[in-house]
Amino acid sequence: MTLYVPSKLVEEARRRGFDVESLVVDLLVRTLNLDPRVAVEAHLELSHRYLEEGRALVDKDPVQASEKLYKAAEEAVKALAIFYNLQEILSRVEGRGRWVVSDLEKAVEAISEKLGGWFGEAWDRAWALHVWGFHEAKFDSKAVEIRLPYVERMVLEAEKIIRGSIEGS
């Protein structure tokens, strides 16, 4: 399904630091009072989509590939934070109406305690893509390609954990 959002709203949301797709997911989950599992699945789906879009752009547009891959990692973190019910973080996010970097960092710390240090290391690679690959536009295709497996592991492991739990229930 394609949803049209007027460009003025998209521009304003981005200007204020919101990711429009993630914002729509969070608003729909909250407004419709949906089960958190729906939010987990939605963030996981976005994570996969961003991963595939980023992978396809590595050789063509490393700047956009960097941001898509970072977004894949970010959505995996959100999915796992909701899945693990990291209530202290989720309460702050809900109160503020959006995720900020400090929420993501705290979620990564908590998730790393459960999954191991690799998760935090992978997040650091994704953060480098966001800052140096996207904002600073300093990474070439090779630099992005080197970091791709770290993001891919975050997404695939999140899926394995979440899907394993859903199938096991």
Residues 123-134 pLDDT 10s: 999 999 999 999
Q: What was the pLDDT predicted at 164?
A: 84
CATH superfamily of the 7-168 domain:
Nucleotidyltransferases  domain 2 (1.20.120.330)
Q: Could you give the CA distance from residue 13 to residue 136 in angstroms, rounded to a whole number?
A: 21
Domain residue extents for the chain: 7-168
Closest to 111 in 3D by CA, of 79, 80, 65, 143: 80
Each residue of 48-98: pLDDT tens digit?
999 999 999 999 999 999 999 999 999 999 999 999 999 999 999 989 888
